[in-house]
Amino acid sequence: MQSHQCLVNNHIATYGPHVHVVNCMGLRAQESSARAKKAPFERNARFSNTKRTVDNWLPIHDWTEAQVWELIRSQGLPYNYAYDLGMPRLSCALLTA
């Protein structure tokens, strides 16, 4: 197994020293007024620097809850069973606990 530093060095040798990260999140505008104010795609200035560029992408930002469930059901996608127990929304803390 390669060490972390070896993986980093291989990446830099192949792609150069600058890394572009796209942080893809399933936040929807309909969930809260704070989320509604977020841009569907924007540069994350807090985490971007001279070595990496980080962009935040919210691909379902303008979807309704019905559209999300329609896609899940039509494609047979897995989802957290807590929704079946009546939870309307799950936080990261609940998903990783």
pLDDT tens profile 5-59: 677 677 677 777 788 889 999 999 999 999 999 999 999 999 999 988 999 999 9
For residue 52, tell me if it sits in a domain: yes
Domain tally, the chain: 2
Give yes or no for residue 1 having a pLDDT over 70: no
φ and ψ at residue 25, rounded to 5 degrees: -130, 150
The pTM for the full model equals 0.72
If asked whether residues 68 and 56 sit together in one domain, one would say no
| Tokens (6 digits) for 35 | 């989320």
Share of the chain above pLDDT 70, in %: 86
Round to whole Å and give the CA distance between 87 and 80: 10
Domain span at 81: 64-97
> Residue 62: which of 22, 83, 31 has the closest Cα?
31
Residue 4 lies in a domain: no
Residue 33 domain flag: yes
Rounded Cα–Cα distance for residues 25 and 34 (Å): 15
Name the token pair of 42.
Answer: 């924007």
Sheet holding 52-57, edge to edge: 19-24, 52-57, 41-43
Do 69 and 93 share a domain, yes or no? yes
What confidence score (pLDDT) does residue 2 get? 57
Task: Give the model confidence (pLDDT) of 46-55 as tens digits.
Answer: 999 998 899 9
Q: What pLDDT is recorded for position 97?
A: 46
Residue 15: partners with Cβ closer than 8 Å, 6 or more residues away: none
